[in-house]
Every structure is written in structure tokens, then in C-alpha cells.
Amino acid sequence: MKANQTLNKEIFERGIKDIVTRGELEKLFDSKKFLRIKHGIDATSPDLHLGHAASLWKLRALQEAGHKAVILFGDVTTLIGDPTGRSKARPQLSDAEIKKNLIFLKQEVKKILLSDPEVLELRQSSEWYYKMRLDEFLRLLSYCTHARLIERDMFKKRMEQKSEIFMHELIYPVLQGYDSVMLKSDMTIIGSDQLFNEHVGRFLQEKFGQNPQVIVALKILPGIEGREKMSKSLGNYIGISDSPRDKFGKIMRIPDQLILPYLEVYTDVPMSEIRMVGEHMAAGSNPRDAKESLAEAVVRRYHGGKAASREKKEFHDIFSEKKIPKDIPIVLLAREHGTVMDAILRSGGAGSKAEARRLFREGAIEANGRVMRDPQESLLPNNNATLRIGKKKFFKIKIVPP
């Protein structure tokens, strides 16, 4: 079967760190063949962030050119835990936790990918691993040597530090590589930290008489704090299911040095415009303007132009004009629990009394524009008060009559 549409190379080419090999990739595209493009997702959590989404948008561009995105949910490999970048073994999830995560992940990918079965295939590695006999499994392991598997950077580091390497971690690349054999993938799109595993996939495909998949490895960017890669476990992520407001607000907090990389990898803003943004910043323009453009582009990509414009205006109103948002939540308090501390804890504006007391010390609590210093001050004289916690949390406090 042949692909019948033109690939949007502007979207496909951006954000790529490595291709193995570019010559093979060009031959695939020149063949006009209907391609099977694998992307693996372990079910370690129920949702995805912008780092995951970068690969999905590449797949979307390929779908629009008539190719098939094959999403492999690694339910078996999740039981092991990917050792990539880990200085110690990952905690293992239960089968029930993995099944629950898969329900949400299948919904998440369809927020970006076309759901037509002609261009989308959803698979799970348990389809073959739960049917594999012991002799078949041992034969699979026999293709790879111990020496090859311990070439991985993180295993070398562990050995240098005299840390343990568990057997189930050693075989992870073999299992991920064999997925490519079972799916007969022509191409795989990954984060660059998965290169070793997908090289094993190429090796095994050749052993099983298949053409080796082309590897397209994308840049991996730091999370919103600017240090470690975006990760759910580190809490430095922007989720694709985050609200437009949360997306906009999180992006406005990133370090300035991430503006251009985020524009390239996480948006569809033309590269010519991104280069202009870089030139303006280098010439001394305010990075905040570029950051707003980035935030607007991310929100627009996931929620549409109206939401992006609304959040940009809301941000200006709150942070520049000091205005109060229109749609703030209402918190109801009984008269006997009508202190400022009660309001903060009831609203969820602080996770604990200790956190709330810190906010009081920092002068970060306001009621009707007045800084509140006493946690036990009553709000009864100020029914319908607007409570501000930090820079962007607002609540309308209403005292319920007895």
C-alpha cells in the first residue's frame, strides 16, 4: 500500500536530535510505501506531558501523510521498569495499577493522534509476551550478549559506583527491541534517551529477517524548572490534560533559556518566526514577551485560538493590571469556622497549616486587597471577601448563616 499525501516536513523535521540512518529514512519516503511507525509508551502513569506529546505530534504529521501510527503500550515492560537514566531500580507497579493507567493513556494519545483505524493501531506488549514459551524466551535472549547490554551508560555508572544491576533491568532493551520485530515497524519515533534500546530493535529485526527500522530520536528538554528532564515524578512537567490556565501559567515560569527550545519542540510556530524571536532576544528585547508568545502557542495547539487569547488577557489582567479573575471559585464557610486560616485550608490554597503559616509570614495572603498577618483573624465582617493566596490563586469567601 502506498502513502498518498505529502508529509509536512516543517513539522516532522523540527526538534530531531538524531536519525539512524538519514539515508534509510530518505529511501523510505522515496518509496511512497505505507509505513508503520512505532512509538512505545510505558504505563507508569495515567497521563502524558509535553515531552511525550512531541513524539505524538511527529506521528500526527506522518498520519496526515497517510502512514500508520502504531502505539505500543508496554504493559509488560512497565512491570520491569525502564532503567534508562536511573541510578537505581525503578519501583515496580502492580498489574492492576498498569491496567488502570492504560485506560487513561489510550484516551490521552487520541487527543493528538487521528483515531481512524486506517492510520492508528493501539497494541500492548502482553499480546506476545504472555503467550511466549520459556524456550522461545531463552532463544530470544541468546541473540544478545552480556557485554553488549552493559554498554549502556547508566549500567557503566552503576558499576563504577558499585551499585546493583538487576537481571530484569538487563533484559529490558531486549524486550523493547523485540517489540519492533513483532510490530514489523519501518520507523520508530523516540526520545533520544531510548537510542540504545531501539538499536537493539534494529539488530533483532535483522536477526528475524526484517529490514531494520529507521530511528528518529527527538531532543529531550528540561522541565519547567530548567534543570532535569520533564518528568511526572519530579513534578516539573506540563501535562497535555492541564487546563489552558495551568499551561499558560507554568510556561510563564520557565527560565528564559528554555524559550527557544520549547518553541521549537513543543509548538508549531514556524521556524522562521522562532529565529526572529531569538534575534530580538539577542538584541535586548524583553524575554517576557517571547515567553507570552510561547505560552499562547502551546495553549492554542491544545485548546484553540480563543482559549489562548483568553488566557493571555487573563494573565495580563492578573499580573500586569492586578485585576481579579472573573470566574473565581466560591468557598463556603460556617460562622464557627470563619477565620482566614479556615478559608485557606478549606479552599485548598495551601496543603497544610505549616504551608499556610509560611504564606502568612511571606505576606502572600490578602483579603479584599489587604495583607493578612493573623491566621486567626475572622472574615465574618468581610462576608463575600476576595481571598488572594500567592500571585494567582483567588477565592470568593462566603459565610454560611447558621
Q: For the segment 132-179, what is each residue's pLDDT rounded down to a tens digit?
A: 999 999 999 999 888 888 877 777 778 888 888 788 888 889 999 999
Q: Do domains 9-218 and 246-320 have the same CATH topology?
A: no
DSSP 317: I
217-265: per-residue pLDDT in tens?
Answer: 999 999 998 989 998 777 789 999 999 988 998 998 899 999 999 999 9
Question: Would you say 42 and 71 are in contact if contact means Cβ atoms under 8 Å apart?
Answer: no
Predicted confidence band of residue 16 (pLDDT cuts 50, 70, 90): very high
Q: What is the pLDDT averaged over residues 305-333?
A: 79
Predicted confidence band of residue 381 (pLDDT cuts 50, 70, 90): low
Check residue 6 and give its pLDDT. Answer: 78
Q: Is 87 a residue whose pLDDT tops 50?
A: no
Predicted confidence band of residue 27 (pLDDT cuts 50, 70, 90): very high
Check residue 110 and give its pLDDT. Answer: 95
Check residue 397 and give its pLDDT. Answer: 81
Q: What is the pLDDT averaged over residues 364-376?
A: 83
Give the SS3 label for residue 137.
helix
Predicted confidence band of residue 215 (pLDDT cuts 50, 70, 90): very high
Q: What is the pLDDT averaged over residues 98-109?
A: 93
Q: Which has the higher per-residue pLDDT, 271 or 32? A: 271
Lowest mean pLDDT among 10-19, 46-55, 221-230, 375-384: 375-384
Q: Where are the alpha helices (DSSP H) in 70-152?
A: 75-80, 95-109, 126-129, 134-141, 146-149
Check residue 5 and give its pLDDT. Answer: 64
Phi and psi torsions of 207, nearest 5°: -60, -30
In single-letter form, the type of residue at position 392 comes to K
* Phi-psi category of residue 400: left, alpha or beta, with phi > 0 → left and psi -120 to 50 → alpha: beta
Q: What is the pLDDT averaged over residues 311-329?
A: 73
Q: Name the superfamily (CATH) of residues 330-400.
A: RNA-binding S4 domain (3.10.290.10)
Question: Would you say 221 and 230 are in contact if contact means Cβ atoms under 8 Å apart?
Answer: yes
Q: Does domain 9-218 have CATH number 3.40.50.620?
A: yes
Q: What is the pLDDT averaged over residues 18-47?
A: 92
Q: Which three cell numbers stand for residue 126?
A: 502482553
Lowest mean pLDDT among 76-85, 205-214, 244-253: 76-85
Q: Where are the alpha helices (DSSP H) in 208-364?
A: 244-251, 259-266, 271-282, 287-303, 305-315, 340-347, 353-361
Question: Would you say 378 and 390 are in contact if contact means Cβ atoms under 8 Å apart?
Answer: no
Check residue 143 and give its pLDDT. Answer: 92
Q: Is 402 a residue whose pLDDT tops 90?
A: no
Distance separating alpha carbons of residues 304 and 164, to the nearest angstrom:
48
Domain ranges of the chain: 9-218, 246-320, 330-400
Lowest mean pLDDT among 58-62, 182-186, 213-217, 379-383: 379-383
The most confident of the ranges 219-233, 273-287, 307-321, 376-390 is 273-287
The strand pairing partners of 216, in sequence order, are 19, 189
Q: Cell 530531531: give the residue.
A: 16
262-303: per-residue pLDDT in tens?
Answer: 999 999 999 999 999 999 999 999 998 999 999 999 999 999
Q: Does domain 246-320 have CATH number 3.90.320.10?
A: no
Check residue 151 and give its pLDDT. Answer: 78
Q: What is the pLDDT averaged over residues 347-361?
A: 82
